[in-house]
Chain A
Amino acid sequence: MSRAIAILFQTLLAAGLAPLVGGFIRWVKARLNGRRGAPPWQPYYDIQKLLGKEAVVSRTASWIFRATPFVVFSTSLVVASFVPLVAAPAGRFIAGDLFAAVYLLLLGTFFLALAGLDTGSPFGGMGASREMTVVALTEPTVALSIVALALNAGSTSFSQIVSRTLAEPAAALGPGHLLAFAALFIVTLAETGRLPVDNPATHLELTMIHEAMVLEYSGPYLALVEWGASLKLFVFLALAVNLFMPWGIAVSLAPIPLAIGLVTFVVKIGVLATAIAVLETRVAKLRLFRVPELLSASFVLALLAVLSTFLAR
């Protein structure tokens, strides 16, 4: 029973906090640029406004286009319900598996790309094609980062990885861990459409990836797509902070550890989000055909992470 409540709480927490992360990054970026910027909670207003609007759907679109926002949002939500956020108690609490998380998010992307093609707009097709290209090239890095983590923990399940890192803090500072973190961070930028792979603020068709794919969405559909995308970013950040720096995470479901877990989690996410904001003000977007170089670099990092873990044993 407490398990069901915990999962529900965690899902609501993720859904509630996710838009704030995107808004926070935008706000920090604006401050760094010397602008006042919209408040961090602006995305909530956007979602609220979009939900109240009428949706315009292309004449050529099929049910795929209408179903996709729900698929995207619910896959992100399902993943958010089983990744470790505030608590990672041992045992069977969270039957989460890293591969399952990655492939569930891929299911959402698969449908988004189909929806991009569905309207027959050249922008949608272009976005779909580029998005699938980037996603396909990030997969090996994601898998190898998982291997690097799994090698230490002896499992690809979240709670095992978290508890192993908590038990052996020294391993978390080992080269394998750090390299895998760097690889996963690059992949996070690529998968969630951040600079230098994609520019979330652009509306120039030649540079768009994710934005081109969802160009046709409007009203409540767009709200769901955007919310789903922010959940995806949130999940990736949560994975990065909790798998590599799990300190502070609650290992039991008692109130005080949970409170500590919540506070440390918010702080950690905030730090990582600030890092992304700083990075986004420092780098320019890469040309599309330079992206593979970045991604192969991240693959090499992940491979080195695995090898160093092998050697360290």
Chain B
Amino acid sequence: MTVDRSAAFLFMIAGYVAGAIVALIAPSDRIARGATAIGAASGSVAGLVTALAVLATGDRFELVRPDMIAVAGGVAIQLDSLGALFLALVCSVGLFAAVYGFTYTADYDGRRSLRFFGLMFNAFLLGMSLVPCAANVFTFLFAWELMAVASYFLVMTEHESSDARAAGLWYAAMTHFGFVLLLPMFLIMAPAAGATAFVDLRAGASALPPAARSTVFALALAAFGSKAGVVPLHVWLPRAHPAAPSHVSALMSGVMIKLGVYGLLRVTSDFLGTGPAWWGGLVLAVGSLSALGGVLYALTENDLKRLLAYSSVENVGVIFLGIGAALVLQSYGLPALAMVGFGAALLHTVNHACFKTLLFLAAGNVLRGARTRNMEQMGGLIKGMPVTAMAFLIGSAAAAALPPLNGFASEWMVFQALLSGAQIAKPEVAIGSPLAVGVLALTSGLAAATFVKAFGISFLAMPRSDAAAAAREPHWSAWTALGAFAAATVVLGLFAPSAIAAMYRIVESVTATPRNVTGGGGIWLLSAHGVAAGAVPPPVVTKLSPRKGSPSGGTSVKITGSAFTGASGFDVRVADTWGCGRIRQTARMEYTSSAFAEPLRRIFSELYRPTEDFSVSVHPEARLIIRSITYTTRIVPWIEKALYEPVTRGARAIAASVRRLQAGSVHLYLLYIAAALMAALASAWWFE
């Protein structure tokens, strides 16, 4: 089957643009919602076709229009297999987010305009789809900025809440911080290349002096790292992702931050190629910091969507660990092993996109059902929302890197990549690689605790609020997206070896490494047992599935006992939870989210540095009569405070002094205009 790729590509753009325009001029909210979903879905399908056609054949797809916007270098599109992988991710999440969004945004009907939202949603998808296709600086920056601006407006959807406005401000500031770093990065590369097309940049990068190459690398790491949300540039992420509507959060966490990973891979492994070992070391350090920092803050978070956002920080850290290991191995002349690292990073990118989309969409259902993001007011949701609960459970187990789900496969690969560091006989590697292994293991252990908390507190036991007790499943169309990503999470786990092989093919086409991974020649740890991760899951599945299957027959727990008793052949009596003789059980006796995290919070209190506020108010006459006791404790990430407070304070001071110009007097403004004109003329004369 041959696909006309340029037609598919143009259809993708047309779909998004049409969706945006029709949504904007739609006569009613319902039509606007429909147009948004149909435009986004058809664009995504076309994009998916384009991406899969490139991935299947492996040859690039090009579309260069130098005449369009010629001043800036024209529009150039080129899709190689690395880009196609990311395009496929964007479009598959985009497709289901669009379907999900159709009913999800119905809550906004009549409350706020969905026309502008539809425009921005499609623009966001267009921007994200173009980023991996861009083949020159102008196209790339255009797509990057389109993505940033559109997502800013999406974060601001619920702009009446001050949280959303603060989130928008942080997001706008951090995304432009990244953009500002991208410009000098391209500026350093462009003169040597003589042109702005990526092909020329690639050719010119090898001619750059080492210092310039390292500067380019550092700028790329900071710029793309801020988009990917690595610590300490992650500050926007836990604010912006929860503020957006849930399907937008899924897009942001699932794929947008991955485009930061794409950018880093494009610049380092594609343009720059092999660099000094400290590049990899730096990426490993950043990755460790993000993985551990992200999961530690996720653990103590009580807001379900913020917890998921912090978990994204953690997973980006895991991806960076893979990239870092690969860069180190590459610089020591072990390209075949470096491939394990790059493959691990790509696989985790794909896997995280699947399970995080699943989790965010399930959280969206919870948000609509229980009307809160605070886990302390949830509980018992598994009874009213069995499908959402199942989806969230699968996502949680994958996020906790448990076999046989996909999160395990890619973390296993990252472990193997880090272990390969043993091939390098250098003391710094000898100390660094085991430490990174320790960090990754601690991260996955803490992730397991985090997701036991997230699922257990939100979905199990008794409801902690009336809204949680009344929560029901949303419209069935929301299940299609959940089903698709749950299936992808399971399938990618079961068929991990095929997925790994596919990632290797992509890495190979980018880094031009000769392929001997499957042959096993000289490949440590992946020898006789092939990719052993894949060898293990099958027996697990055959043994688990009949058993796991039987209780799922008892999912409708309302017919308690009977369904399950018959199946397993023993008597089950339903009774109260044992409670030391108290009369009845209430939700107040349950363990809370804060209580669950308390032991780890105490153990890592040096890192959290919680603030505690304890006040007792007593009767004015008698100090022994206590009226109330309040205890509040908060964890304010002190790293953020230490790093960003001076910056924001400085920015405020500058803004305050600039404000003095705005005196409100028309005469003064006329003077400014005159002065500006004089200055412009004077400078024109000077340069003449």
Contacts and interface: CB of A to CB of B under 8 A. Distances in A.
A310 B90 CA distance: 43
Interface stretch (A14-22, A26-34, A212-220, A257-265): A212-220
B448 A157 contact: no
Interface in A254-313: 288-289, 292, 299, 303, 306-307, 310-311, 313
Interface string A84-127: 00000001100111011001101101100110111111101110
Interface string A121-149: 11011101110110111111011100100
A56 B575 contact: yes
A152 B571 CA distance: 52
Interface residues on B, range: 35 or more
B590 interface: yes
Contact of B460 (A104, A118, A138): A118
Contacts of A62: 382-383, 389, 459-460, 557
A81 B543 CA distance: 11
Nearest to A155: B525
A195 interface: no
Given A130-B599, A136-B600, A64 B575 contact: no
A173 interface: no
Contacts of A307: 430-431, 434
A136 B419 contact: no
Contacts of A64: 382, 393, 460
B493 to A, nearest CB: 11
A165 interface: no
A293 to B, nearest CB: 10
Interface string B371-407: 0000000011011000001000100010011110000
A77 interface: yes
B602 A60 contact: no
Interface residues on A, range: 35 or more
Contacts of B554: 63, 66
Contact of A107 (B402, B416, B431): B402
Interface string B591-618: 1000111111011000000000000000
A128 B448 CA distance: 11
Contacts of B673: none
A103 B438 contact: no
Interface of A is mostly: helix
Contact of B577 (A54, A119, A289): A119
Interface stretch (A39-47, A67-75, A226-234, A245-253): A67-75
A57 interface: yes
Given A67-B551, A110-B397, A136-B442, A220 B596 contact: no
Contact of B595 (A97, A129, A215): A129
B402 A103 contact: yes
A128 B525 contact: no
B467 interface: no
Contact of A147 (B437, B529, B547, B597): B437
Given A66-B554, A120-B590, A154-B525, A58 B575 contact: yes
A189 interface: no
B555 A117 contact: no
A190 B462 CA distance: 31
A129 B422 CA distance: 36
Interface string B435-478: 10111111011101101110111011110000000000000000
A156 interface: yes
A92 B529 contact: yes
Given A92-B528, A95-B529, A128-B452, A57 B603 contact: no
A299 B437 CA distance: 12
Contacts of A75: 540, 544
A61 B459 CA distance: 11
Nearest to A151: B422
B412 interface: yes
A106 B591 contact: no
Contacts of A119: 461, 577
B523 to A, nearest CB: 11
Q: Which 4 A-B pairs have the closest CB atoms?
A: A125-B591, A139-B445, A143-B441, A136-B445
27 contacts: A51-B570, A54-B570, A59-B574, A60-B462, A62-B382, A63-B564, A74-B547, A75-B544, A78-B543, A81-B539, A100-B403, A107-B403, A114-B456, A117-B590, A118-B461, A122-B589, A129-B595, A129-B597, A132-B453, A133-B449, A136-B445, A143-B415, A147-B437, A155-B527, A156-B415, A307-B430, A313-B425
